Chain A
Amino acid sequence: NAGVTQTPKFRVLKTGQSMTLLCAQDMNHEYMYWYRQDPGMGLRLIHYSVGEGTTAKGEVPDGYNVSRLKKQNFLLGLESAAPSQTSVYFCASRPPEAGRTKEQYFGPGTRLTVT
């Protein structure tokens, strides 16, 4: 199993450009999440999905959109990038409720710089 993978690993955007970050998991997990990591702030939840075709906002959703057309993929879009979106983005997935396994599995991250 590859686990959780993210594409791309690095990206530099100019203000106003758009891009999509791709997250894929091969563990058949229902739940998927997008977090951003900024120095001194830990990880903050951007959007999440509890199943194919469903998405919802987290704590810091402004400026981002997401889609979950297939169970294994969770896309994060930036329609018009801003310097404040310079960050490291992590995708995570989690098994469904059954059982006591409740941790999330994280991808390697995407480092995004907006100039």
Chain B
Amino acid sequence: AQSVTQLGSHVSVSEGALVLLRCNYSSSVPPYLFWYVQYPNQGLQLLLKYTSAATLVKGINGFEAEFKKSETSFHLTKPSAHMSDAAEYFCAVSDQGRGRRALTFGSGTRLQVQP
């Protein structure tokens, strides 16, 4: 069975500071990994995805994530936080093999950006 662990339910950074949101996964086969963002009272929007083509993945809004197999991690980073980055972020892993192709989500990390 797959699982995703997001360390830190709340992260607070100052505007202009580095953003680091942690995600570790458990999977018996090479995973497909995703980061989604949820702004207040909205649905989930895809930030970026890892599908084995490259270990460093660039997404929208200046975010990127690095897949590290040895550490079973897929941490999300952004060099300089902006006020508009305040949101909840979810890491997810896709089912492997044929079948339902559902996503297993982490519990989420709420990012606060202080002026």
Are A108 and B43 in contact (CB-based, < 8 A)? yes
CA A50 – CA B98 in complex, angstroms?
A: 11
Range class of the B interface residue count? 20 to 34
Are A42 and B106 in contact (CB-based, < 8 A)? yes
- Chain B residues within an 8 Å CB radius of A104: 103
CA A97 – CA B90 in complex, angstroms?
A: 23
CA A111 – CA B51 in complex, angstroms?
A: 32
- Chain A residues within an 8 Å CB radius of B27: none
Are B49 and A33 in contact (CB-based, < 8 A)? no
Are A102 and B9 in contact (CB-based, < 8 A)? no
CA A31 – CA B32 in complex, angstroms?
A: 17
- Chain B residues within an 8 Å CB radius of A56: 100
Are A40 and B101 in contact (CB-based, < 8 A)? no
Are A42 and B100 in contact (CB-based, < 8 A)? no
**B94 at interface, CB cutoff 8 A:** yes
Give B103's nearest chain A residue, CB to CB: A104
- Chain A residues within an 8 Å CB radius of B70: none
**B105 at interface, CB cutoff 8 A:** yes
Q: Which of A5-60 contact B (CB under 8 A)?
A: 31, 33, 35, 40-45, 48, 50, 56, 58
9 A–B contacts from the bound complex (CB under 8 Å) = A40-B107, A42-B4, A42-B108, A43-B103, A45-B102, A48-B102, A102-B101, A103-B46, A106-B43
Q: Footprint of A on B, CB under 8 Å?
A: 4, 9, 32, 34, 36, 41-46, 49, 51, 53, 90, 94, 98-103, 105-108
